[in-house]
Structure formats: C-alpha cells, structure tokens
C-alpha cells in the first residue's frame, strides 16, 4: 500500500440509498482494476453522524472484513473530513449534521502532516455556533448550501468557507488516517467496533401516537 488513491465513488444524494453500497463497491473495484481478493485492509468512517447510515455502513464493512480475513480500522468522520484538506495551515472547524439545525463540531490544528483535534467534539445547535467564533477560522461541512449561510450569519465576516467542492466526507481523508494507524500496527476488533454515537436515535411512531427523542 503506497497511499495512492486509485478509485473513488462519491454520491451527493441526501437520500439513504443503502442498496447502492454493494454496486458502489463493485464499481470501485472495476475502476481500479482490482478484485475483492486484492484488498488488504478496510478503513471505515464510524461517525459521529446519522444513526442508521452509520449502522448500515459499518455492518457492511465488518462483513467484508470477516469474509476476506483482513483488518478493519474505524476512523472518526470529523477527523477524516478535516484531513481531506491536508495542507491547510490554519485553524479549522468541521461540521456534520446531527439533526435539523444541530451539528457535531470538531476543531482542528496542524501537527506535522496531519490536522489533529483541538478539543472534544461539540454538539451545537443554531444560535450556539457563536461559541467557536474567531477571526481567520476556516469552516468545512456536509451541506454547503444550507450550512454556510448559517455560519456566515452566526460567526461573522472573520470566518472563511473552504471551497464548496471540498464540502463532504471524501476517501482521501479516510485513506490518510487509516494508513497512519495501519502503519503503527493498529487494528480494531470487528466484534467490538461500534459507531461513534453522541446522540441517541430519534423514535418516531405513526401519526397520533406518542413520540420519544432519546437524544435529549
């Protein structure tokens, strides 16, 4: 493994089309002229993020790890997004949506070749984002068109949005952090690897019933 990214499948759909997982893997292997048997390790984003998407994606990755007998390494999704911009030398805030008008937020600083966490993950709602306000802060997130106007309003003119084509979780960030961990001889136990949940699932029964929000 020399760290080269030979193929990537990216979908901008906001729908949870989990049935596309297997066809996406087939496409990537074909594009990279590889077979399943050529895989040597699996790097998977474990969150924070949406409950169902994390569970389904991690289960799929675990199945591959078991079937192929290869290591699996879980990567924090905020860390992976930050490290998709490897040469940024400034302070960076990364946002992943938790639920409507609430975000998981990570702050990052440069340390050698990687951007590393500059504090614990925060869960901030609309109206609370000013807590991270500072001049010269770069921001990156999932949904540019919806989030950037909110950030610009709450954080002021001193905040700088990275170009919108960088906004999302990309393979290069997972690759950088996964290879770093693999190079240190690390790996995760597939039996114990779980999504990184900072919020419980919302349970929404049929209309007219009682609703629960386990995240509160």
What the chain holds in terms of domains, given with CATH numbers, is 18-76+170-199 (3.30.420.40), 85-166 (3.30.420.40)
pLDDT digits 0-9 by tens, 79-96: 999 999 877 888 999 999
Residues 192, 122, 111, 163: is their CA dihedral positive or negative?
positive
pLDDT interval class at 13 (50, 70, 90): low
Interatomic CA distance for residues 67 and 192, integer angstroms: 17
Read off the pLDDT of residues 93-149 as tens digits, 9 standing for 90 and up.
Answer: 999 998 888 999 999 998 888 899 999 999 999 999 999 998 899 999 988 999 999
Residue pair 65/72 in contact (Cβ under 8 Å)? The answer is: yes
Alpha-carbon distance of 158 to 30, in angstroms, equals 45
Residue 185: pLDDT band with limits 50, 70, 90: very high
pLDDT band at residue 17 under the 50/70/90 scheme: low
The reported pTM is 0.87
Cβ atoms of 114 and 86 closer than 8 Å? yes
């Amino acid at each position: 493994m020399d760290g080269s990214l030979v193929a990537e499948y990216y979908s901008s759909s906001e729908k949870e089309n989990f049935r596309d997982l297997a066809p996406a893997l087939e496409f990537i292997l074909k594009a990279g002229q590889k077979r399943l048997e050529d895989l040597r390790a699996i790097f998977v984003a474990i969150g924070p993020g949406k409950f169902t998407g994390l569970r389904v994606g991690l289960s799929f990755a675990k199945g591959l790890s078991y079937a192929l007998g290869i290591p699996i390494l879980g990567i924090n999704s905020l860390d992976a997004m930050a490290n998709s911009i490897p040469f940024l030398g400034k302070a960076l805030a990364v946002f992943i949506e938790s639920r409507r008008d609430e975000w998981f937020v990570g702050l990052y600083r440069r340390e050698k070749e990687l951007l590393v966490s500059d504090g614990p993950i925060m869960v901030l709602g609309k109206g609370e984002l000013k807590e991270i306000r500072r001049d010269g802060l770069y921001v990156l997130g999932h949904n540019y068109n919806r989030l950037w106007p909110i950030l610009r309003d709450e954080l002021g003119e001193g905040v700088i949005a990275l170009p919108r084509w960088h906004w999302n979780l990309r393979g290069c960030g997972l690759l950088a952090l996964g290879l770093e961990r693999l190079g240190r001889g690390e790996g995760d136990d597939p039996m114990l690897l779980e999504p990184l949940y900072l919020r419980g699932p919302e349970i929404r029964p049929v209309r007219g019933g009682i609703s629960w929000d386990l995240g509160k």
